[in-house]
Amino acid sequence: MAEATGIEPASRAHRLALVALSLCGVALVACSSGESSPGPTAASTRAGLERYLAQIEPIRLSVNRLLEGADPILGGFRERRVPAREAATRMGALERRFAAATVAVAAIRPQLEALRSLHAEYAQTYVLEDAYLSALTSGLARHELSDLPDTQSAQRAAIIRWRTGLMVLARQVHATLPGDLQQAGRGEIAPSPEGS
């Protein structure tokens, strides 16, 4: 057959590839001459923000309550009302509950692109806090609290960037954020062995 047409099989395949590429080029030009795909609408952005808040807020609020439980443990240890072993056991239980919250936060996958990087940074604060609580538990057991990691500044900055990003996004779509979100990043970030 190749001899009858005078076209070598490799040349025919080459021409077919060129025709296919040309057709793809025409299709791309046709697609690009129309309107580009629209970005998220204000309504869909607002809905995405509300969905995200519905996922993160219960975790955030329960973690705030959980961390309030660290102060009585540390206070009792400081005042020698709670022996080191008991303080370490109680702090270890608190850390395990916090670790479960860390996993829950990491499992959240915001649908909005604008929230993805904000959430990734916020989720990292849970990893830092979990590492701190683990070191605190170990330090209590050893009676050695002088070498705890200092993650508070990094956590505070990340939480403030997260809160600010949420506020900007909410303002753009006229959404209302939870009132207590204004407190995120303010006050004590990590339980202090020395007290507040």
* pLDDT tens readout for residues 105-139: 999 999 999 999 999 999 999 999 999 999 999 99
- Compute the residue count for the chain: 196
**16 burial via Cβ count (<10 Å: 0-12, 13-18, 19+):** exposed
Average pLDDT, the chain: 82
| Residue ranges per structural domain of the chain | 42-183
- Tokens 């860390």 found at: 102
Query: What's residue 73's pLDDT?
Result: 96
Query: What's residue 148's pLDDT?
Result: 93
> pLDDT class for 1, splitting at 50, 70, 90?
very low
Query: What's residue 39's pLDDT?
Result: 61
Tell me how far apart the alpha carbons of residues 189 and 194 are, in angstroms, rounded to a whole number: 14
Query: What's residue 115's pLDDT?
Result: 97
Say whether pLDDT at 29 is over 50. no
Within the chain, residue ranges assigned H as helices are: 2-5, 9-33, 42-68, 70-78, 84-106, 113-142, 152-172
Query: What's residue 188's pLDDT?
Result: 64
Q: Which residue type occupies 36?
A: S
Say whether pLDDT at 55 is over 90. yes
Q: What angle do CA 173, 58, 135 make, to 5 degrees?
A: 120
Q: Average of pLDDT values for 132-150?
A: 94
CB 68 within 8 Å of CB 94: no
Say which residues have a Cβ less than 8 Å from residue 50's Cβ, sequence separation at least 6.
Answer: 175
> pLDDT class for 38, splitting at 50, 70, 90?
low
